[in-house]
Amino acid sequence: MYEILKKDFVYKGLAVLLAILLWLYVINMKNPTIERPFKVPVSCVNLKEGLVVRDEPGDVEVKIRGPYSLVNPLNDKEIKATLNLAKAQLGEEDFFVEIALPPGVEPVFTKPSSIKLVIDALEMKQLPIQVIKQGAVAQGYSSFEPVLEPSAVVVRGSRQMLEKLETALVTVNLNQAKESLSLNCPVTLLMKDGSTVVAEYDISPRNVQVIVPVTKPNNTITVSIKPQIKGVPKEGLQVSGVVLDPETVKISGPYEILSRINHVSTAPLDITGIEENYATQVALVPPDGASLVYQPVVKILVQVEAVAVTKNLADIPVTVTNSVPGYRYIIEPEKVNLTIKGSKKAVETLDKSIAIKAFVDVDGLKPGTHSLAIKTEIPAELQVVKVEPGTVEVKITEEN
């Protein structure tokens, strides 16, 4: 039996080998190896904070090889092309294109295999927003200056690109409007040469709120705006002033109602506990029977300062400045009293023996008796309210 098996072993081995080759041939005929090109967008990764790529890297051509069943259904999104910018520095540099492929396929070539990029510092630029009106309001109606919130946008990008930017634009279609429009408009950037920006910028915000007042003509008057402030600043501070922008507003309505209105109030603004100058926007409250022609909000700045206290300083010695050698100066009286004013902290921590000086200037004076005004020198955060007496007699004699 063993001899029979041994005798047919070679033929059986050849039969198995032929079967394997036939199977591989059939498989390859049904699922052959193919090559296929793709156009793949390149993305940048691992760029350090504070740096930016001046121009986008664009696309590369990637040819891959693999079984038909794996290569044929692939699309561009399944192939990733990246530039690793972890070691990027300011300036121009070549970066190798790294390709990530699905399992079972392999790259044939990448064209180009590297891309030259310019790395720039990431900076910010604030641009004012310009409103472009399209169309017209309904016949018999009027539109007024648009109100923007915010009135400017911040753009982030490379220094060179930011230098080319001029302003930001929003477009408003009046579209035969018969009432005020409140729109959320996308921002477009405008270059200094008048063209709009095509490249992608980081804009904040990308959309702004635009209010276009639309009214039917009526009697109008211009009145002042009166702020309504409630609450008080932090202890030790007081309100020193309130600044409005604008300070006036137009209102419309019947003549008999307008004749009784002399101002428009803001909505109440609570300043409880503020520790420094406070700037914000506040809405206007339309008077009864009248309406705001435009400007539904105003900018307001509440200025604060330290609460001032006064203090009397007695027996401050009077000294002489610009004295002449060989002359003797006798001052009568030799001391004066000062009343100073300033913040509580500045007054309480004052060392009068060091920080307060009272003196008279004798520059150019000859021997004799002169009545001279007292001059003072005090810290900048304080002020002199009163000097008693305000003048002293200075007798000048020659020492010999």
- Written as one string, the DSSP assignment of 60-107 is EEEEEEEEHHHHTT--GGGSEEEEE-TT--SEEEEEEEEEE--TT-EE
**Cα dihedral sign, 191-194-196-199:** negative
For the domain made up of 220-306, give the CATH fold. RNA Polymerase Alpha Subunit; Chain A, domain 2 (2.170.120)
Written as one letter, the residue type at 293 is: V
DSSP string, 311-324: EEEEEEEEEEES--
pLDDT for the residue numbered 179: 82
Backbone angles phi, psi at 307, to 5 degrees: -65, 125
Please report where in the chains the tokens 């180009």 appear, as a residue.
Answer: 112
Q: How far is CA 38 from CA 53, 79, 106, 108, in A?
A: 24, 8, 13, 11
What's the CA angle centered on 229, arms 227 and 232, to 5 degrees? 150
Burial readout 205-233 (b: 16 or more C-beta within 10 A, e: otherwise): eeebebbbbbbeeeeebebebebeeeeeb
Domain with residues 308-398, CATH architecture: Beta Complex (2.170)
Q: How far is CA 148 from CA 124, 142, 184, 249, 396, in A?
A: 21, 18, 10, 16, 71
Count Cβ atoms below 10 Å from residue 94 Cβ, excluding itself. Answer: 11
- The residues, any chain, with a CB within 8 Å of residue 271's CB and separated by 6 or more, are 229, 230, 231, 232, 233, 239, 278, 302
* Predicted confidence pLDDT, tens digits, the chain (400 residues): 445 555 555 556 666 666 666 555 544 556 788 888 999 999 888 888 878 887 788 899 999 888 888 888 888 888 899 989 888 888 888 899 898 888 888 888 988 888 888 888 778 888 888 888 888 888 777 788 888 888 888 888 777 778 888 888 898 998 888 888 888 999 888 888 878 775 567 888 889 999 888 877 667 888 999 999 999 998 888 888 999 998 999 888 877 788 788 899 999 999 999 989 999 999 999 888 888 887 788 999 999 888 888 889 999 999 999 998 889 999 999 999 999 988 777 888 887 777 889 999 999 899 999 999 999 999 888 889 999 999 999 999 988 6
pLDDT digits 0-9 by tens, 177-212: 888 888 899 988 888 887 877 556 788 888 999 988
381: left (phi over 0), alpha (psi -120 to 50) or beta: alpha
Cα separation, 386 vs 376, whole angstroms: 11
Count Cβ atoms below 10 Å from residue 248 Cβ, excluding itself. Answer: 14
From start to end of 101-194, where are the E strands?
106-111, 114-134, 142-143, 147-149, 152-158, 165-173, 181-186, 188-191
Bridge partner list, 211: 147, 182
Written as one letter, the residue type at 352 is: K
- Which of 319, 341, 338, 339 is CA-nearest to residue 330? 319
Q: How far is CA 357 from CA 64, 344, 351, 371, in A?
A: 88, 20, 11, 19
Domain with residues 122-215, CATH architecture: Beta Complex (2.170)
> Which pair of tokens denotes residue 25?
């041939």
Cα separation, 325 vs 335, whole angstroms: 23
**Burial (CB count <10 Å: 0-12, 13-18, 19+), residue 134:** exposed
- Evaluate if pTM is beyond 0.85: no
Q: Taking a C-beta distance cutoff of 8 angstroms, is the pair 210, 181 a contact?
A: yes
Burial readout 148-174 (b: 16 or more C-beta within 10 A, e: otherwise): beeeebebebbeebbeebbebbbebeb
pLDDT digits 0-9 by tens, 254-266: 777 887 888 999 9
Written as one letter, the residue type at 253 is: G
For the domain made up of 34-112, give the CATH fold. RNA Polymerase Alpha Subunit; Chain A, domain 2 (2.170.120)
Cα separation, 284 vs 264, whole angstroms: 7
Q: How far is CA 178 from CA 65, 131, 142, 290, 310, in A?
A: 65, 19, 9, 17, 60
